Structure 1
Amino acid sequence: MATEATEIEITTIGRRTGEGHSHPVWFIREGKSTFLLPVGGRGSQWFRNLRNNPTIKLGATSAKAKLITDQAKVGQVMDEFSSKYGAADVQRYYPGVDVAVEVRDS
């Protein structure tokens, strides 16, 4: 996955339906990890799906998601998002974000 890309397609498993739900999301890469921020924080539907079933598909690759609630790490991810996408856009699209998601390469 090219780090210059601005979005990646994620698919999570619906906690009620058991069906896949796909969404384009912004991301950052750090080493062997991809980090995501749910726009609605812990209330985001796709984050809630991951709490129920941590299987996530990034593009064509399936992996297990690690849910991040540590505010220091969430802040670091927000800082990296701001560097990549611009602080004004990150503040506009991610107000009150309190969680992040890490997906490690296999």
Structure 2
Amino acid sequence: MGDHSEDAAARRPPNEQFQAYLEGHRRNPLTTTLAGARVLNAFQVPWFRIAPPRGFGVLTTVGRKTGKKRRTCVRAIRNGDKAYLVSLTGSGAAWFLNAKANPRVRLRIRGGSLDGLAHEITDPAVIEEGRRIYSGTVNPFDRLEYRMHRTGAPSDEKIRAMHEKWYADGTPVVIELSTGR
């Protein structure tokens, strides 16, 4: 997914990224275990393929080992011809590794499906732009997402803080979308 800058190289290893993700995390097995994530994804993908909530979508990658299409639900914030995502559990996530091996992806978001090229964000200016866009956007579905990941009542401020933490501790990704223009 592109060259690694010193900033990206300084990121935590995948296991440490996952531990950082768990800090302050609600102990929900759907969001803190691989088996739970698979169950949640299996439930969400069919619904999100029909009508993805604003700010979310279905990312289709090609399996790096199998060559088969792999779909996963992601929080994807579109800004023009780019969509910003974060691999919450770091550079070891299957979708991240698949996109790294074959950056041609498809993103199904509200409004349609778009092809694009995914890559890890390594440029400091783009990292900051992505952080601002990813963390600064709050959509209605984010409230449910907050309840899945954290305890307490969600607020815009708490949701932004959760997304800031994910962006800081995870691995940010940008998809350069082919809009057909």
- TM-score with structure 1 length normalisation? 0.77
**Counterpart code for 2:76:** F
Write out per-residue CA displacement over residues 69-102 of structure 1, whole angstroms, 9 at most, x where no aligned residue. Answer: 2243223212212111332221454451243222
Residue 132 of structure 2: aligned partner: 79
Residue 8 of structure 1: aligned partner: 57
Which sits farther off after the overlay, 91-100 or 45-54? 91-100
Identity across matched positions, percent: 27
**Residues 69 and 98, structure 1, Cα contact 8 Å, conserved in 2:** no
Give the drift of 1:12.
0.5
The alpha-carbon distance between structure 1 residues 97 and 57, as it changes in their structure 2 partners (threshold 3 A), is same
Larger radius of gyration: 2
Q: Does 1:56 align with 2:105?
A: yes
CA distance, structure 2, for counterparts of residue 98 and residue 46 of structure 1: 12
More helix by share: 2
Structure 2: unaligned runs, 5 residues or longer: 1-52, 139-158
- The number of equivalent residue pairs is 103
- TM-score with structure 2 length normalisation? 0.49
Residue 88 of structure 1: aligned partner: 161
**Residues 40 and 94, structure 1, Cα contact 8 Å, conserved in 2:** no
Residue 30 of structure 1: aligned partner: 79
RMSD of aligned residue pairs (Cα, Å): 2.2
